[in-house]
Amino acid sequence: MNLRKRHLRAHAEVNTSAMNDIMFFLLLFFLIASTVTNPNVIKLMLPKSSSGQAVSKKTITVSITKDLKYYVDKKEVPVENLAATLQSYTKVATELTIVLYVDKTVAIQDVVQVMDTAQKLNIKLVLATEPK
């Protein structure tokens, strides 16, 4: 007969208070990281280039999608109004550079049309590429 009292055994428990802190910091990190990314970027497949240069601070982004939609600073512009839109930017700043983002499936004639417009307005133009 066992008349001794059983000793209270240590109960195993998991402390999850540190887990709450970790989950809070992960959530905070992803919220901050999602605000840094730009969701209004137009998705294009750019051609690749092995040489690249930085452009000046006063830039205008002109994008041409594969559907031949023209965007000036993320605002869709009809091709007929492209020259007038770019002309309005020259009134604001004197030394401008156009960064031309063109999908690689777009015909070269559409690219040359934007280049001619920039040349007529005396605006520098840079063709954007992806690094290899």
Query: pTM of the predicted model, to two decimals?
Result: 0.57
Stretches in the chain below the pLDDT threshold 70:
1-9, 37-42, 44, 51-57
Give me the sheet containing 70-72, strands edge to edge: 75-77, 70-72, 59-64, 97-102, 124-127
Model confidence pLDDT, tens digit, residues 47-78: 777 766 554 458 889 999 989 999 998 899 99
What are the residue boundaries of the structural domains of the chain, listed by start?
Answer: 48-131
CATH architecture of 48-131: 2-Layer Sandwich (3.30)
Tokens of 43: 């998705």
| Residue at 39: amino acid letter | P
Q: Which residues pair with 51 in a beta bridge?
A: none
Parallel, antiparallel or unpaired: strands 70-72 and 59-64: antiparallel
